Structure 1
Amino acid sequence: MQSHSIRDIATALGAEAEGDLSLRVSGAAEPQAAKPDQLALAMDPRYADGLAKGGAKAAVVWPGADWRAMGLEAAIFAPRGRLAMAGLTTMIDPGPELPDGIHPMAVIDPSAEIGEGARIAPFVVIGAGVKIGARARIASHVSIAEGAQLGADALLLQGVRIGARVKIGARFIAQPGAVIGSDGFSFVTPEKSGVEEIRQTLGQREAIREQSWTRIHSLGAVLIGDDVEVGGNSCIDRGTIRDTVIGRGTKLDNLVHIGHNVQVGEDTLLCGQVGIAGSSKIGSRVVLAGQVGVNDNIFIGDDVICGGGTKVFTNAPAGRVLLGYPAVKMESHVEIQKYLRRLPRLAARVAALEKNAGPADETQA
C-alpha cells in the first residue's frame, strides 16, 4: 500500500505543518478509529476527544490547535476542513483497479478510435465510430453506442451506458449504472389530451375520453462539457431535435434525472433524486438540493439555491433562494410555516367566538 509523508501531504494541500514531517501515513480515518499508520481527520475542536481514543500519530487539525497536548507527533493545519479533505482524498485514492491496455474480452468495433494509454476492462462493448480519448479508463460491463465521443482522462465505472452520438468532454466521471443518452420521455395524442386541457383550464375538464400515446423519437444527443461528474443510476435523456446540454464542471449526485432538451449551465450542483423536466434551462452555479423538482419549459437563473424537496413550477430569477412546495423565497416559506403552526390555535379561537356569538349576531353577519 502506498504511503505519504506528512511533508508531502502538507505540500500537496498548500497547508502548514509542524512536528515530525517525515512521518508516513497510508490512509485517513476518523480520530477515534485511526490507527498509527493513518492520518486522523480532526479539523474541528469537537473531534479533539476522539484523538485520545484512537491511535493516530498525526492528524489534520484546526488552526491554532495544541497538537502536542493531544499526543500527536505531527499535525497539518487546515483553515477549511472540507477543502483539505478534497485535496487529501484526491492524493491518496488509488482509484479503480483496471488492467493496462485493452482486455481481450472487450468487444470493440474496428472503426472505433482508442486514444493512447486508454484502459478498457473485460465485457466492455464499444460501437462503430466511437472516439475514446487518451488515458480514458473504462471499467467492466460498460457499453458505448455508435458515434459517441469520450474525452481524455475520463473514467466510466461498472455498468455505465453511453448512448448514440453522445459527446463528452475531458476528465468526465460516471459512477456505476449511470445512463447518458437514453431516449427522452416524449409522447403525443392525436387529439388534445387531458394533460393539455388541464394546463389551459387549471383543472377543469369538459369530458373524459379515451386517448392513446404516440411516440416522439429523440433525434438529438447529449453534449457534456469538461470536468463533469454523474452519480450512480442517474439518467440524462437525449434531446428531441437539439442536444441536451450539461455545462463544464457540473456535478450530478445519484438518482438524478435530466429530461430531454434540458440545458444545464456550468459548475451547477444537482443533489440526489433531483428531477428536471424536459426543455427547462438551468443556469450556472445553481444548487438544487435533494428531491428538488423542476417543471418543464421554465428557466432557473444563475446562482439560484433550492432547499431540499423544493418544487419549482415557474421561472426563478438569478440569485434567488427558494424553498417549499410550491417554491417561494426562503424567508417567505419560513413565515408561512410560522402561520401554519398557529392555525390550530386560531381555529380554536374562531370556534369559541362563534359559540359565544348569539343567533342574532349570526343573522346580522
Structure 2
Amino acid sequence: MAVTIAELAASLGAQAWGDTGIRVTGAGEPSSTAPVESGAGQLALAMSPKYAEALTPGCIAILAEGMEPESYGLAAAIFAPRPRLVMAGLTRAFDRGPDIVPGIHPTAVIDASASIGADAAIGPFVVIGAGVVLGPRARVGAHVSIGRNARIGDDALIHPGARIGHDVVAGDRLIIQPGAVIGGDGFSFVTPEESGIEEIRRTLGARADIRQQHWTRIHSLGTVELGDDVEIGANATIDRGTIRATRVGSGTKIDNLVMLGHNVSVGKDCLLCSQVGIAGSSTVGDRVVLAGKVGVSDNISIGDDVIAGGAAKIFTRVPAGRVILGNPAVKIETQLEIQKAMRRLPRFAQQLSKLQETVTRLLEKG
C-alpha cells in the first residue's frame, strides 16, 4: 500500500510541505528511515526536536507544528497539530491487520442456526454455536469459539484464540485480542454457615471458632454486554453476571491481563490499563482511567472522570473528577505529602534519638 504525502495529509487533516507527490510506503523511526528513492519512502515519526535530530537529509517525516523542515534537509513533511492524534491516523492507514482469508474456512464448525453477516471472514477451526448472530464484515481468527446465542455487531475483529461465552452481547466495531475470555463464570461461592470472610467483615478482624467450611458455587445466570467500539486486550477476562449482566460501555478500551468480576459495570470511554482488577459488583463511571495494576475492591463506586495512578488500591467510594494514588488510594496531593513525610522518617528517628539522650541527661542531673 502506498499513498502520496498530499493524500495522507488530507486524510489526517494536516498540512503538507515540500514534494507532496512522494508516495509513502509505511512509517518508521527517524534513525531508520532513508532518503526517498524512486519517488517513495517511509515516513519518519519525528514529532519533537530530539527525535528530528536523527533524521537523514532527503527523507520524509511527520513534524510538530513550528518545526522547520528545511533545517533537517527533508524532501517533504506533514505537520501534526496534535502529534499523537496524527500518529493514530497514520498507523491506522498502514495497519494490515491479521491475515484472515475472506469467506468461511472449511475447517470452521458453524451451527446451522447461526446467522453470519455478509462479507464475513471466518478462519480455521473456529467454532460458532447455535443461534449466534455475527454482523456484516466480521473477521474471526483461527481457533475462536463463540457460544450459543451470542450477538456481535458489525465490523468485529476477533483475533485468534479468543473465547466468547454464550449469550454475550456486543455492539459494532468490537476488537478482541488473542486469548481474551468474555463471559466466563463469575467467582462466586457461599458456605452453609457464616464464612470466615463474612465474619471478619462483620467484626473487622476478630475471629471466633475456626472450623471447616465447604464452598458451594453460585452459578452465573447473567451475561456480558459490551457497547460499540469496545476493545479487549490479550488474555483479559470479563466474567458474566450472577443475575444481571456485567457491562462495559461504548468506547471503553481494556488492556491486556485486565480482570472484570461478575456484575461489574464500567462506563463509556474508559481506559483500563494492564493488570487492573475490578472485583464483583463495583461500578465505574464514564471516562475513568485506571493505570496499570490498579485494584478495585468489591461493591464500591467510582465516579465519572476519575484518574487512578499506577498500583493504586481503591477500597472506598471515589467522587467524580478526583485524581488518586497510593495504597490505600487517596487524593494525589495527599499521597505526595505522605511520600515526602516517609522520606523524612530516618532523619526524624535520628532527631528523636538525640532528643531522648538529651532529656535523659537532664533528668539525671536534676
Instruction: State the TM-score, normalizing by the size of structure 2.
Output: 0.96
Quick one: distance in 2 between partners of 1:67 and 1:137? 41
Q: CA deviation at 1:360?
A: 8.1
Find the counterpart in structure 2 of residue 34 from structure 1: 33
Give the 3 Å change call, closer, same or farther, for CA 200–360 of structure 1 in structure 2.
Answer: farther
**Secondary structure class of the residue paired with 1:51:** coil
Q: Aligned to 1:296, which of 298, 304, 309?
A: 298
Alignment partner, residue 50 of structure 2: 46
Q: CA separation in 2, counterparts of 1:40 and 1:269?
A: 28
Per-residue deviation at 1:63?
A: 1.0
Structure 1 residue aligned with 2:103:
101
* Partner amino acid, structure 2, of 1:352: K
What residue in structure 2 maps to residue 224 of structure 1? 226
Q: Which runs of 5+ in 2 are unaligned?
A: none
Distance 2:350 2:105 in 1: 74
CA shift at 1:359, angstroms?
7.9
Q: Shift of the alpha carbon at 1:95?
A: 1.4
Q: Which residue of 2 aligns with 1:275?
A: 277
Q: 1:132 aligns with which of 131, 134, 138?
A: 134
Label 1:296 to 1:112 Cα distance change in 2 as closer, same or farther (>3 A): same
Moved more, 236-245 or 42-51: 42-51
Cα distance in structure 2, aligned partners of 1:50 and 1:285 = 37
For 2:97 and 2:145, the matched residues in 1 are separated by 20
Q: Residue 60 of structure 1: SS of its match in structure 2?
A: strand
Give the match's secondary structure for 1:184. Answer: coil
* Aligned partner (choices 71, 87, 90) of residue 89 of structure 2: 87
Q: SS in structure 2 opposite 1:40?
A: strand
Q: Which residue of 2 aligns with 1:358?
A: 360
Matches within 5 A, 1:228-307: 228-307=230-309
- Give the 5 Å matches for 1:309-324: 309-324=311-326
What's the offset of the Cα at 1:207? Answer: 2.4
In 1: Cα distance, 2:6 partner to 2:131 partner: 47
The RMSD of aligned alpha carbons is: 1.4
How many residue pairs were aligned? 360
Distance in 2 separating the partners of 1:69 and 1:265: 47
Deviating more after overlay: 346-355 vs 145-154? 346-355
Structure 1 residue 68 displacement after superposition = 1.9
Task: Report the secondary structure of 2:53's partner residue.
Answer: helix
Q: Map 1:146-165; keep pairs closer than 5 Å.
A: 146-165=148-167
Instruction: Give matches, 1:137-216, under 5 Å.
Output: 137-216=139-218
**Superimposed CA distance per residue, residues 229-276 of structure 1 (whole angstroms, 9 cap, x where no aligned partner):** 000000000000000000000000000000000000000000000000
Amino acid at match of 1:144: I
Task: Give the structure 2 partner of residue 63 of structure 1.
Answer: 65
CA distance in 2, matches of 1:42, 1:235: 37
Runs of 4 or more off by more than 3 Å in structure 1? 359-362
The 5-angstrom pairing of residues 113-128 of structure 1 reads 113-128=115-130
Distance in 1 separating the partners of 2:299 and 2:81 = 42
Distance 1:266 1:358 in 2: 63
Please say if residues 40 and 56 of structure 1, whose CA atoms lie closer than 8 Å, have aligned partners that are also in contact: no
TM-fit CA distance, 1:56: 6.2
Most deviating of 329-338 and 78-87: 78-87
Note closer, same or farther for the CA distance 1:56–1:323 as it changes in structure 2 (3 Å cut): farther
1:12 lines up with 2:11 in the alignment: yes
Q: Could you list the runs of 5+ residues in structure 1 that have no partner in the other structure?
A: none
Q: Secondary structure at the match of 2:225?
A: strand
Structure 2 CA distance for aligned equivalents of residues 48 and 27 of structure 1:
18
Deviation, structure 1 residue 64: 2.1
Which amino acid is the alignment partner of residue 24 of structure 2?
A: V
| In 1: Cα distance, 2:199 partner to 2:356 partner | 42
Distance 1:132 1:51, change over 3 A: same
Q: Distance in 1 between matches of 2:118 and 2:162?
A: 21
- Hey, what's the Cα distance between the residues in 2 that align with 1:171 and 1:132? 12
Measured after TM superposition, the shift of residue 358 of structure 1 is 2.5
